[in-house]
Amino acid sequence: MKTDAAVSQLREVLKSSGTIDSDRAEEIQGLVNKTPLNDLLRLMERYPAKKGAVLFRLLPPERASIVFDSLDPRHQAELVTALGGDSVNEFFTEMGAEDRVMLLDELPAEVADRLIEELGEDDKDRTNVVLGYEKGTVGRVMSPEIPLITGEMTVGDAAELIRDQHDHLETIYTLPVVDEDRLLLGAVRMRDLFLADRDTVMSDLASETPTAHASDNAEDTARTFLTSGRIAIPVLDDSEQLVGIFTYDEAYRIVESADNEDSARHGGSESLRQPYFTTPVLALVRSRIVWLLVLAVSAILTVQVLDIFEATLEQKVVLSLFIPLLTGTGGNTGNQAATTVTRALALGDVHKSDIVKVMWREVRVGLTLGAVLGALGFGVASIFYGMDIGTVIGLTLLAVCTMSATVGGAMPIIAKAVGADPAVFSNPFISTFCDATGLVIYFFIAKAVLGI
C-alpha cells in the first residue's frame, strides 16, 4: 500500500504544471526513493518529456542511470532536450557505443555534437566507429567494445585482460580470438576459458563461430542470429578484420522493433517508436495520415470504376448489394497472402528468386478458397435473387480470390526485390489494388452472364 500511495502522489505531481514547490521537494524526493524502478519507468512513459524531466531530476544517480537506459531512444532524446545543460552527460558517457549512436540519431545536430565533444577520447573513437556505418547495417548496431585477445595469449593472460577491462566490455561470454592482423581465428566461450589450464594457448582453445559483416543488413542478420542459439557473434569489416561484436539482446531488440513496425503497417499506420502517452499528437497524426491518404485514393478509384459501370448498375440494381462483400473478400484474401509471405521472407523460408513458386502456390490457394466461397455465394444468391445473379457472384468470388491471393503473395517479394519494406505492400496497397480490380472483374462477369 505504501508503494501504491507513493506512485499515486507522484502521479498527481506530474499531472500538475510540472513544477515542484521548494517546500515539497524533500517530501517528493522521499516518494521517489520509495517507488520501485518499474513503477518509476511506467510513470516516465505516461507523461511528456518536460514533466518526466521533473521526476528524473529527483532520482539518485544510480536509479536515474537505470531508468534512462530503459527508455526508448526517441524518448531519451526528448528527455535530453527537456533537461538541457549537462544533466545527462554522465549517463551518455556510461552508455555503450551502439546505444549512444541510437540516441544521437534522434537528437538535434547541435545537441548531438555537444554530447560527443564531452566524451573522452576512447569513448569518442568507439562511438565514431559505429557512426561510420550506414543505418540499417550490423555495423551501426554492433558494439566495438571487445577485448583484443590474440592467439598467442595464454588463458591466464586473457583472463587478466578481461578482469582489467570488464567494466567497458559489452559481453565476456563470447570472446573472439584474432591473429596479429586482427583476422579472426575463432571464438572462446567463457565456460571453456574457465575450465582450461592457465597455460593453454588461446588459439588452441578457439573454435569456429558464425560471423557477420559490418555492412550486412541488421534485420536479416538478427533474425538468422536469433535461431543460432548463440549469445554473441563477431563482426568483421570488408577486410575480414574484427571490428566488434553483435549480441543476442541487440538482435532481439532489432527484430522486436521490425515486427512492431510491420504490425503497425498492416494496420495502416507507422510504428510510434516510443510509449503512446509520450508521443506528441502531431507525431500520432503523421504516423497515420499517409495511410489514410492511400486508402482515400483507393476509395476514389472504386468510385471511378462504379462511375464507368453506372449503366450496368442501372439495369441490375441488385448488383450493388454485393459490392461490399466482393471488395472485402478480395482485400482480406490479398492481405492474408501478403502477411504469410512477408513472414516467410523474414524467416528466410522464401527468397526473392522464389516469386514464381510463390505465385503458383497462391494461385492454387486462391482457387480453392474461391471455389469454396463461390459455391456458398452461388447458393445463397441463387435462393434470394435467382440463378443468374448467383452465377455472377459465384464466378466473381472464384476470380477475385484467385487474383487477390496471387497478387498478395507476389507484392512482398517484389517490394523486397526493389529494396522496399514488404509490410508496406500488405494492407493499404493491396486493398487499393484489389478493390478496384475486383470491381472491374465483377462487372465484366455480370455483363457477360446477364447480357447487359
How many Å is the maximal CA-CA distance in the chain?
93
pLDDT of 19 higher than 70: no
Beta bridge partners of 60: none
Name residue 47's amino acid.
Y
Q: Between residues 275 and 377, which one has the greater pLDDT?
A: 377
CA distance 314 to 318: 9
- Residue 257 sits at the vertex; the CA angle it makes with 174 and 338, to the nearest 5 degrees, is 120
Q: What is the pLDDT of residue 1?
A: 41
Distant-in-sequence, close-in-space partners of 264: CB < 8 Å, separation ≥ 6: 270, 271, 272, 287
The more confidently predicted of residues 22 and 199 is 199
What is the mean predicted confidence (pLDDT) over 341-368?
Answer: 88
For 66-101, write each residue's pLDDT tens digit: 888 788 888 888 888 777 655 667 777 778 888 888
Task: Give the range among 147-161, 179-193, 327-341 with minimum mean pLDDT.
Answer: 327-341
Tell me the C-alpha distance between 420 and 215, whole Å. 18
* pTM to 2 decimal places: 0.66
Q: Say if CB 345 and CB 258 are below 8 A apart.
A: no
- Output the DSSP codes for 237-261: -TTSBEEEEEEHHHHHHHHHHHHHH
Determine the average pLDDT of the residues in 170-174.
86
Assign 167 a pLDDT band (cuts: 50, 70, 90). Answer: confident
* Average pLDDT of the residues in 171-193: 91
3-state secondary structure of 418: coil
Kindly compute the dihedral angle of the four CA atoms of residues 320, 326, 332, 338, in this order, to the nearest 10 degrees: -120
Q: Look up cell 585477445; give the residue.
A: 149
Q: What is the mean pLDDT of residues 436-445?
A: 87
pLDDT digits (tens, 9 = 90+) for 104-114: 888 778 778 87
Q: Looking at residue 267, what is its pLDDT? A: 62
What is the mean predicted confidence (pLDDT) over 361-365?
A: 95
Residue 286: DSSP 8-state: H
The three cell numbers of residue 252 are 532481439
Query: Are the C-beta atoms of residues 406 and 414 closer than 8 Å to each other?
Result: no
pLDDT at 352: 86
pLDDT digits (tens, 9 = 90+) for 121-157: 888 888 888 988 998 899 999 999 899 999 999 999 9
> CA-to-CA distance for 19 and 32, rounded, in angstroms?
15
* CA–CA separation, 136 and 218 (whole Å): 6
Backbone angles phi, psi at 233, to 5 degrees: -130, 145
Q: Mean of the pLDDT values across residues 296-308?
A: 73
Instruction: State the cell numbers at 134.
Output: 550506414
Spatial distance between the Cα atoms of 188 and 158, rounded to a whole number of angstroms: 11
Better pLDDT: 421 or 378: 378
